[in-house]
Structure 1
Amino acid sequence: MFDLNSNSDLLLQCKAVTADEPDLIANLANISAIIFDGMADINWAGFYFARKPDELVLGPFQGKVACVRIPFGKGVCGTAAAEKQLQHVDDVHQFSGHIACDAASNSEVVAPIIVNGEVVAVLDIDSPSVARFSKEDAQQIGLIADYCAQLDWTQL
């Protein structure tokens, strides 16, 4: 359900825009813009940074105003961080503990970004459509998160 470009084109665009830029925040801002502009039928794309103790804090994103802090284990983002596992949710209203930052969001994919065995952030993509994301979409979002793990996280 990506636009005309294939899923891998988004990853290639992310790699191209970050290739010669060392600044983490600038890179994540551009990656969220690439995803937001490159995927059809989404209403939010961005990052939450892991902070101690076990809390996510809003980072670069595209979309409406968002929740600023999410505890590990709460909602889709917090679950992805706590479990260190990609979360692919067809209907967030059926997800136990869902946090409704935007009532218009109905499906979500969240991929943890893991560096040296620790979650440093999550990549969160929301859609107003139920079951918007295919298995392939979720896999590609996971690959983008894996790429993000290769950026310089020592800056945070």
Structure 2
Amino acid sequence: MPFESLKPQVVALLSKQEHTLTEKLTAICELLRQSIDYYNWVGFYFKNGDKEELKLRAFSGEPTEHTIIPFGKGICGQVAVSNENFVVPDVKAQDNYIACSIDVKAEIVIPLFVAGENIGQIDIDSHSVDPFCQEDEHFLTFVNQSVAQIINKNDF
């Protein structure tokens, strides 16, 4: 797994002072999608102001019509409520799944916390069944912790 070699690249992308937060997040999405063969779509959703919904901020992969996701709906919406990692080995087995593409077979969503508050998440879709393991969870938690260090509440 390339996770250890990707960590310094994630940190480097986040340290680029000349880029906006959205540009940094998009660069991370692109890095992860291009570096890990079963990461077919990578995106960051964040709480949309005071609304009980998530808004897509940055992504890499096929465009999605799901740019706004109500809390509780789909895997992302469930993570917004549960504050816990959610690994779905086979999306067909999920009743509360929002299909972004017929090609998606599995999904992993990791919440992003700033000062103890779940403000967003990283969402990965895969075209393979059951590709995610504990190393994915640990790595994506690292990515979110790194992102959290540069987030300012004024960014939202």
Task: State TM-score, norm by structure 2.
Answer: 0.90
Kindly indicate whether the alpha-carbon contact (under 8 Å) linking 2:33 and 2:39 is maintained by their aligned counterparts in 1: yes
Residue in structure 2 matched with residue 7 of structure 1 by the alignment: 3
Kindly indicate whether the alpha-carbon contact (under 8 Å) linking 1:50 and 1:120 is maintained by their aligned counterparts in 2: yes
Residue in structure 1 matched with residue 46 of structure 2 by the alignment: 49
One-letter identity of the residue aligned with 2:46:
F
The whole-number CA distance in structure 1 between the counterparts of 2:141 and 2:117 is: 16
Using the TM superposition, give the Cα deviation of residue 125 of structure 1 relative to its aligned residue in structure 2, in angstroms.
Answer: 0.7
The whole-number CA distance in structure 2 between the counterparts of 1:136 and 1:87 is: 14
Residue in structure 2 matched with residue 69 of structure 1 by the alignment: 68
The whole-number CA distance in structure 1 between the counterparts of 2:123 and 2:8 is: 19
Residue in structure 1 matched with residue 27 of structure 2 by the alignment: 30
Kindly indicate whether the alpha-carbon contact (under 8 Å) linking 2:32 and 2:39 is maintained by their aligned counterparts in 1: no
CA deviations 1:42-93 (Å, max 9, x no partner) are 2200111111321011111001121111111111111111111111110112
Kindly indicate whether the alpha-carbon contact (under 8 Å) linking 1:49 and 1:57 is maintained by their aligned counterparts in 2: yes
- Is 2:107 the counterpart of 1:108? yes
- Is 2:16 the counterpart of 1:17? no
Residue in structure 2 matched with residue 78 of structure 1 by the alignment: 77
Q: How many residues align?
A: 152
Residue in structure 2 matched with residue 97 of structure 1 by the alignment: 96
Provide the identity percentage.
32
The whole-number CA distance in structure 1 between the counterparts of 2:138 and 2:72 is: 22
Moved more, 47-56 or 19-28: 19-28
Using the TM superposition, give the Cα deviation of residue 117 of structure 1 relative to its aligned residue in structure 2, in angstroms.
Answer: 2.2
One-letter identity of the residue aligned with 2:100:
C
**CA RMSD across the alignment:** 1.4
Using the TM superposition, give the Cα deviation of residue 144 of structure 1 relative to its aligned residue in structure 2, in angstroms.
Answer: 0.9
The whole-number CA distance in structure 2 between the counterparts of 1:148 and 1:102 is: 27
CA deviations 1:123-144 (Å, max 9, x no partner) are 0111011101112112211221
Task: State TM-score, norm by structure 1.
Answer: 0.90
> Structure 1: which 5+ runs fail to align?
none
The whole-number CA distance in structure 2 between the counterparts of 1:95 and 1:143 is: 26
The whole-number CA distance in structure 1 between the counterparts of 2:142 and 2:79 is: 15
The whole-number CA distance in structure 1 between the counterparts of 2:107 and 2:58 is: 17
> Structure 2: which 5+ runs fail to align?
none
